Amino acid sequence: MPDTGPPTHTIVDDFVAPVCDDLLEILYQDDDILLINKSSGLLRLSGKKPLNWDSVHGQEGVSPPFPEAKLPHRIDFGTSGIMVVGLNAASAQHLNRQFQTRTIQKRCVALLEGWVDGDHGWITEAIAKDKNYFPRVIICHTTGKAAISEYTVLQRLEQPRRSLVQFTPHTGRTHQLRVHRQAIGHPILGCNLYKSDRSERMADCLLIHASDLYFEHPTSREQLHGQCPCPF
């Protein structure tokens, strides 16, 4: 029998986002930037499928109020919270450089299954794409890229046991916080990709919120701290 090589796997991307009725909240606005509060369940950019048109960047049949706006800031579909938007090419380019050089500091708050051991710690598991299951990623020390997450336990809750945790990601890998939490046995509640037998059913949506953003204003060069209170 001839050697046909390694098995191939077909990646099927048939995801259609549920309708999101929540409106974007503008937290801050000037001539160069917006700080907005994105709802959980709203795409950052419109998808390829017509049914995935609604996003931070535009809605079907609605003229965008900021036609030159650019989105250098990435945030997961299921994550709520603060995002920075560049309102012109120059400000977007400056913000993009800050993200690339990791001079922008982000903080998130998440509710996890169980009680996390210790009040503070670091997770340094390398992350790679899961070639068999788009859009998942996996922990892989052979082909993965370095990923670093710092965390602080804010509160431990009872009935059922949960931990409210603040994260500071020091790298920006896809799904970094979600897969890092699953790797140590405390998945984020409501997550449909990185979960235990019960964690997804413990919340109606993904309970991770981008709460704080520290960055340099692209024009004034002032150091800014944007904040968006956690809704859960």
**What amino acid positions are annotated as catalytic residues?**
76
- Neighbour count for residue 9 (Cβ, 10 Å): 11
E strand or H helix at 154, and its extent?
strand 149-157
Q: Rounded CA gap, 229 and 201, in Å?
A: 24
Q: Rounded CA gap, 155 and 152, in Å?
A: 9
E strand or H helix at 97, and its extent?
helix 89-100
Q: Rounded CA gap, 212 and 229, in Å?
A: 9
Integer angstrom CA distances of residue 170 from 65, 91, 103, 185:
33, 23, 10, 21
